[in-house]
Chains A and B, each alone.
Chain A
């Protein structure tokens, strides 16, 4: 009975969110802002899958966002890929990077895992800074948006908006399914008590790597979509500040909650837009939010709300 009530609540929340997002172009909100926020929301949700449900605190997640961005930008611009193929290629590139870095990083636990992922991300940053196809500081600019599936012209804002919304929702539902699948339950068990999971016969390394690759791939989906929206891929997306930003989005919204990362992403992106003219004060504010989150509300906005209203998430 209780479980059923919970599923109902989830369905209502999902329908509400979808409805709200579908109405955005009609109620006069700037669609580019929402599209950007949706890409970051998917990025944050993919990161939450890893840290909130897998218990793997990566501090280099920007490498997947940026890798996918560069791959799809290059494919769309230089090789003339249609947008869907470019996005798929970007996603695969990020998942591939996830296989290599993940296999190495999961050999260490906890804080060392964070430092290892951060170091790999920095290594990739230097690689993208030096390799010619990314055009260094300039980035890949003027990426064509193209015709989605040969039918939908993405240079029209409304078309682009609903395609991005569709990709976001698909990613979101996939993450929801992963979390509530037997695989997700095993991940949960590993996070809570790894030695016990091992003693029950689970090859925990494999599950952790699978979670890492899934998360990397979904972050790549977000990065590739973001490139089609913004029409450029740049070094900002692979920089460590981006890795920190996604941690902040998830922490602010609520670690290990389904909707937390999405709320967190919208808040942080809105804040960046609002304070865009204030130079580096944005960083200072972000830092202060980090400190406040850790010291005052560790469960994040959604988590604290649920706690106050005694809702089990």
Chain B
């Protein structure tokens, strides 16, 4: 057994897992407040990566600025989407939210494909994070280590913010019973807009993190979002921690599959989904 290769694949798995976790976390947060499955999540993730590329190549702001500004910019785009479109779907069947955001994803992806084709744009690893560590059993590139650690921190911070703080308790209360929370004088519509913006910002952040690893491509989100949907079906959207754990675990599982049986690495997440549907139809962490 080639341990070098095994650990390399596990690392790739962890990286993918970080993106799954960030994206499914955003989906879960949005679903909790808006009752909408955000199909545009992948397109907004792609927008995050492109936004970072623009900041670097057109404006001249480096990776670290992108890490702060891109989630803010794309988050604002998200809030505009929520205010102008998603808001009108309140009270309708969940299906319409899915259809609307699917349309949005087509528009965003189509526009980027027209201007950038389907090939990738390179984005250099920031100079502070080039190189890597030789751990003896494997070579660990610094940037990849940074992505895993930073994603984990963001995920845990989000979990803490929602489950343990006062603001988070408002959020959870508004998820359960928006009318009642409104009666206490909290501006629920604004909270909904901010929540959508936050979920989108998480996707954009994942896009920035991914830019130096995967190239910046118009379709980078489309391929990813369907796997993230499977992750969401497996984990169930009832629990924030559930989304994080499921995301990372499935990424690792994918890495393992890439090493032991590469032909199945694209499909393993879907197979797991089928098994979970058989054994525990509501998902591993599902409530209803």
Contacts and interface: CB of A to CB of B under 8 A. Distances in A.
B85 A295 contact: yes
A290 B89 CA distance: 14
A115 B233 contact: yes
Contacts of A290: 99-100, 102-103, 106
Given A123-B271, A288-B103, A112 B233 contact: yes
Nearest to B273: A119
Given A130-B263, A244-B106, A294-B89, A111 B96 contact: no
A283 B104 CA distance: 10
B230 A111 contact: no
Interface in B250-288: 263, 266-267, 269-271, 273-274, 277-278, 281-282
A251 B278 contact: no
A104 interface: yes
Interface in A263-287: 279-284, 286-287
The contact size tier of chain B is 35 or more
Contacts of B113: 279-280, 283
Contacts of A59: 98
A281 B111 CA distance: 7
B96 A298 contact: yes
The contact size tier of chain A is 35 or more
B177 interface: no
Interface string A11-47: 0000000000000000000000000000000000000
Interface string A48-63: 0000000001010000
Interface in A100-133: 104-105, 107-108, 110-112, 114-116, 118-120, 122-123, 126-127, 130
A108 B95 contact: no
Nearest to A100: B274
Contact of B274 (A104, A112, A282): A104
A105 B89 CA distance: 25
A104 B278 CA distance: 7
A111 B99 contact: no
Interface string A62-93: 00000000000000000000000000000000
Interface in A211-269: 240, 244, 247, 251
B110 interface: yes
Contacts of A289: 103
A197 interface: no
A293 interface: yes
A295 B92 CA distance: 11
**Interface of B: prevailing SS:** helix
A305 interface: no
B110 A287 contact: yes
A291 interface: yes
Contact of A286 (B94, B106, B230, B273): B106
Contacts of A122: 226-227, 230, 270
B223 to A, nearest CB: 9
Contacts, number: 117
Nearest to A241: B106
A291 B85 contact: yes
A107 B277 contact: yes
A118 B107 contact: no
A101 to B, nearest CB: 9
A288 B232 CA distance: 27
Contact of B226 (A105, A240, A280, A288): A240
A129 B253 CA distance: 21
A304 to B, nearest CB: 15
Contacts of B282: 108
B241 to A, nearest CB: 19
A287 B106 contact: yes
Nearest to B96: A294
B88 interface: yes
Contacts of A130: 263, 266
A251 B95 CA distance: 11
B109 interface: yes
Given A104-B274, A122-B226, A284 B114 contact: yes
A104 B271 CA distance: 11
A118 to B, nearest CB: 6
B98 to A, nearest CB: 6
B103 A111 contact: no
A293 to B, nearest CB: 7
A251 to B, nearest CB: 6
Contacts of B88: 295
B263 A295 contact: no
B226 A294 contact: no
A123 B229 contact: no
B233 A119 contact: yes
Contacts of A119: 226-227, 229-230, 233, 269-270, 273
Interface of B: 37, 85, 88-89, 92, 94-96, 98-100, 102-111, 113-114, 222, 226-227, 229-230, 232-233, 263, 266-267, 269-271, 273-274, 277-278, 281-282
22 contacts: A107-B281, A108-B277, A108-B282, A110-B95, A111-B37, A115-B233, A118-B226, A119-B273, A240-B226, A247-B102, A251-B99, A286-B106, A287-B102, A287-B105, A290-B100, A291-B100, A291-B103, A291-B107, A293-B103, A294-B96, A295-B100, A298-B92
Interface of A: 57, 59, 104-105, 107-108, 110-112, 114-116, 118-120, 122-123, 126-127, 130, 240, 244, 247, 251, 279-284, 286-291, 293-295, 298
Q: Give the top 6 A-B pairs by smallest Cβ distance, nearest first.
A: A290-B103, A287-B106, A287-B107, A283-B110, A123-B270, A284-B110
